Structure 1
Amino acid sequence: MKRNDMVIHKESRPLLARSGNDEHLISVPDPMVRAPRVAASQKMPSAILYSGKSIGCDAIVAVVSRDTDGVMLSAAQRLSHFPASSFICLSWHNNIAVGTIERQEKGISWKRFDESVLISGSQSKPTVYWSLHGGRGGMVYFTISVAKALFNIDVTAIQDRNVCARQLLGPTWFAMFDQLVESRDDATMLEIINHHISSRWDSMHHASNPVQGLQYAGRRWVDRLISQAKLWQNSRSLRQVQRSVKAMSGRSLREWQLLVSTEKVFFETAQDDQKALNSLDWAALALEAGFSDQAHLSRTVKHITGFPPAEFARRFVEDESFWIYRLWT
């Protein structure tokens, strides 16, 4: 997959820079800049999450649609912060010009995706995306076990990566990709997903445990992985169990437990109430969530989201770029 990379000098405000061989100048924000939410008085972005259970597809954790076409967004408001995640994600967009953005030693790097359909592996650290303009796109989330069975892929090869779905999954999925990119409403999008994914999953005669609620979906999958590891311990050495877990899931149990350990924090802060936010007892929350102390909580939250707890909570409530957190919770 080819990418169009752009590096600009590091600053805390949008800057002008050249993108690859393009002659025009574009404004790219610092990925950590604050991005106030869109005012209710103007046209709002559309962001909707559908659980797999709600659309009758047990193979799916969730489907997300996002439409910013015609919405007046600043460069900072076109940032999107995503947490570290245990899920495999299939995503698509319709000519949005989107890519990953991050700070580097030489400045800010924006790596634009040249492909319109991507598949992303589990992410061990938070990621930030930026789009050049508004448009429509969507995402489908799968547990690793379902993604391996449905797509017949090596999940270790896509960890912490965004790769071209066409190249990885092959032509049997091209029809679905084309239809999703061209879809203009959620009803059509969901019909396409159900037609191509549910039918294939059912034909494989796979029985799955449907996610009964999105809260702690990642933790439940990791709990099942732990149960499997305990069964293996009856007939294998500890080292063999560790190798089997990594071969099956791509990461160690310790890494998976770290990834899902902050879910309680996300849901506890899922409120648009600044007064309640300011009165949160982080020490008590740390103990309730199973952390050894507040410092342990702070380190883990920063590892998963990129921010210490108090700043994460403020951005969760106030920043447009944290829309996926609010949507999920």
Structure 2
Amino acid sequence: MHKVDESSLGFAAPALSAARCEMWLPRASLSTLVRAVMSRDTRAVALGSEQRYNHLPATPLCSIIWYFSGEAELLEPGYPADAASPRAPLPDRVMFTGPFSRPTVSWNPGPVHVMALLLQSDALAHLLGIDPGAYVNRVVPAAEVFDGEWMAMCAAVQAAPDDDARVALVEQFLDPLWQRRRPESWLPARAYADWTRNLMMRAANSGLGRSLRQVERRIKHWAGLPLRELHGISRAERVFFDAVVAERSGRPNWSELADGAGYSDQSHLCRQTVRITGFPPEELRRRTFEDESFWAYRLWGMSEQPLRRPE
């Protein structure tokens, strides 16, 4: 896998710490199963309470999450990132999360070292025969979802000496497994929009009924979220990537970005961005570049830089 991190991309801001945040992007043979691996390690830095929140958007992806050090508490949906918000500890050291139809916020009581394997929900359903829809907006112990072979891989990752070794173990486990099981008709896709289009093509050509309602029902069964949700997340991701690229040459023009992504107007973009991320576009842009707790957005956006250069 190819690794990117904030330092290698030249990203720096006075308000941000030196916490280690890295992302590994999959090789071509795994791109229809794995979206990315993300890691964050704050053990070598002293972070204030506000800097120990973690903001994540709605996503159609499933995840395996390992906590190697430290703990996390998940805030109740809809509550702001402050000390008064109700929260609950995560259920295990190795967890599975399904797709999320809403943004999430977690908080680390102290230093933490965590890694997440981000998996395409339809591919995971194909491999394991699970229903991603049964895990929407849920975090459960990994042992509730995976068999002994998968849990052995999870244990090996937990015991590995460093993150590069952990990613190599994941790759060594998944690559031969996926090559044996991957349908030849599945096309690689980096962005949610491409993945959603591929889902629609497969659903329409499955031979099991081709009406719009049947296609939509099939997509929800495969991905866990309805087609309308997938379209919404796809458009929001496109605007987010475009805004990151625009930041290189100046402030984004939200009206132009909204029009380019197919929103009816800028207000429509704003409403949808709030629904998916919890923040309006300009605040999300500012906090992505200035707020420690938006580290996942920085990694997600900056990982597209080699593919999306400003003109």
Give the TM-score band, short-chain normalised: 0.7 to 0.9
- Do the aligned partners of 2:65 and 2:114 also contact (CA within 8 Å) in 1? yes
Change in 2 beyond 3 A, CA 1:104/1:297: closer
Indicate the SS of the match to 1:108: coil
The aligned counterpart of 1:123 is: 100
- Do the aligned partners of 2:60 and 2:225 also contact (CA within 8 Å) in 1? no
Matched, 1:142 2:119: yes
Matched, 1:96 2:70: yes
- How far off is 1:171 after superposition? 2.2
The aligned counterpart of 1:253 is: 227
1:275-303 per-position Cα deviation (integer Å, ceiling 9, x unaligned): 823xx321122111111101100001111
Kindly provide the amino acid, as one letter, of the partner of residue 129 in structure 1.
Answer: S
State how 1:128-207 maps to structure 2 within 5 Å.
128-204=105-181, 206-207=183-184
Kindly provide the amino acid, as one letter, of the partner of residue 131 in structure 1.
Answer: N
Change in 2 beyond 3 A, CA 1:104/1:61: closer
Q: Percent identity?
A: 31
- How far off is 1:234 after superposition? 9.2
Change in 2 beyond 3 A, CA 1:274/1:249: closer
Kindly provide the amino acid, as one letter, of the partner of residue 215 in structure 2.
Answer: V
Change in 2 beyond 3 A, CA 1:235/1:294: same
- Do the aligned partners of 1:137 and 1:181 also contact (CA within 8 Å) in 2? no
Matched, 1:111 2:83: no
State how 1:1-329 maps to structure 2 within 5 Å.
37-39=15-17, 44-53=18-27, 57-58=30-31, 59-102=33-76, 107-204=84-181, 206-207=183-184, 208-211=186-189, 214=190, 217-231=191-205, 235-270=209-244, 276-277=250-251, 280-329=252-301
- Do the aligned partners of 1:124 and 1:259 also contact (CA within 8 Å) in 2? no
- Do the aligned partners of 1:233 and 1:241 also contact (CA within 8 Å) in 2? no
Aligned-partner Cα distance in 1 for 2:40–2:57:
17
Change in 2 beyond 3 A, CA 1:272/1:161: same
Aligned-partner Cα distance in 1 for 2:178–2:39:
22
TM-score where L is the length of structure 1:
0.78
Structure 1, gaps ≥5 residues long:
1-35
- How far off is 1:63 after superposition? 1.1
Structure 2, gaps ≥5 residues long:
1-13, 302-311
TM-score where L is the length of structure 2:
0.82
- Do the aligned partners of 1:89 and 1:140 also contact (CA within 8 Å) in 2? yes
- Do the aligned partners of 1:264 and 1:289 also contact (CA within 8 Å) in 2? yes
Q: How many residues align?
A: 284
- Do the aligned partners of 2:57 and 2:102 also contact (CA within 8 Å) in 1? yes
Aligned-partner Cα distance in 1 for 2:208–2:123:
25
1:161-198 per-position Cα deviation (integer Å, ceiling 9, x unaligned): 11111121132222211122233322211221022212
The aligned counterpart of 1:14 is: none
Change in 2 beyond 3 A, CA 1:233/1:154: closer
Larger radius of gyration: 1
Aligned-partner Cα distance in 1 for 2:260–2:131:
36
Aligned-partner Cα distance in 2 for 1:146–1:232:
16
- Do the aligned partners of 1:115 and 1:164 also contact (CA within 8 Å) in 2? yes
Root-mean-square deviation (CA, aligned residues, Å) is 2.7
The aligned counterpart of 1:20 is: none
- How far off is 1:94 after superposition? 1.3
Change in 2 beyond 3 A, CA 1:255/1:205: closer
Aligned-partner Cα distance in 1 for 2:215–2:181:
28
1:251-282 per-position Cα deviation (integer Å, ceiling 9, x unaligned): 321121112111122112226959823xx321
- Do the aligned partners of 1:301 and 1:309 also contact (CA within 8 Å) in 2? yes
